[in-house]
Chains A and B, each alone.
Chain A
């Protein structure tokens, strides 16, 4: 069965530090990849997505992610975090034509001002 693994469950950073959140998936075929974010008290919203083409994708609020097919990875990065980036981050994969998403267990990011 397909699965998504997020290695960092809770990350604490100071403002201006660089961020990298790991995401690996298990599936040998074509996948679409997503990062969603959930700010405190808000619903899930899309940060960025990869379907095809350039493996380095840019999203909102200065986030980017790199798809490395050989490593089955889709890591999220931001060069300089802000206090407002405090949130929970979810990596997700959809496989096939159903569109259903398989999520990782999430990473809680806490940014200290």
Chain B
């Protein structure tokens, strides 16, 4: 069990650029979640996948955000036309049981938009 991994760990970009983050969940975990955390706040839910199906998206996920999990394994989160307000830590978590299991978090990708 290598845990949840995320890449890159840090990303600095200029406003208006597109960025893509990757999350590799714990193998055989069929649920994958994305959260966003800003300074001084707890993580906020963005979206989640059951295998390759994206089952729910938060209102926080504007049309500039898109997430995929094409083969039900790793997932990508893309932000188009980044804005300074997108600067945050983007966290990925996975779990093996929908309702009552523990979510295991990755180290996060810290995005800074200049």
Contacts and interface: CB of A to CB of B under 8 A. Distances in A.
Interface stretch (A12-20, A39-47, A68-76): A39-47
A51 B43 contact: no
B107 A97 contact: no
Contacts of A61: none
B58 to A, nearest CB: 8
B85 interface: no
Interface in B79-113: 91, 93, 95, 97-108
Interface of A: 4, 32, 34, 36, 42-46, 49, 51, 90, 92, 94, 96-106
Interface of B: 31, 33, 35, 40-45, 48, 55-56, 91, 93, 95, 97-108
27 contacts: A4-B42, A43-B91, A43-B106, A43-B107, A43-B108, A44-B43, A44-B91, A44-B105, A51-B100, A92-B42, A98-B55, A98-B56, A98-B98, A99-B48, A99-B95, A99-B97, A99-B98, A99-B99, A99-B103, A100-B45, A100-B48, A101-B33, A101-B35, A101-B103, A104-B42, A105-B40, A106-B42
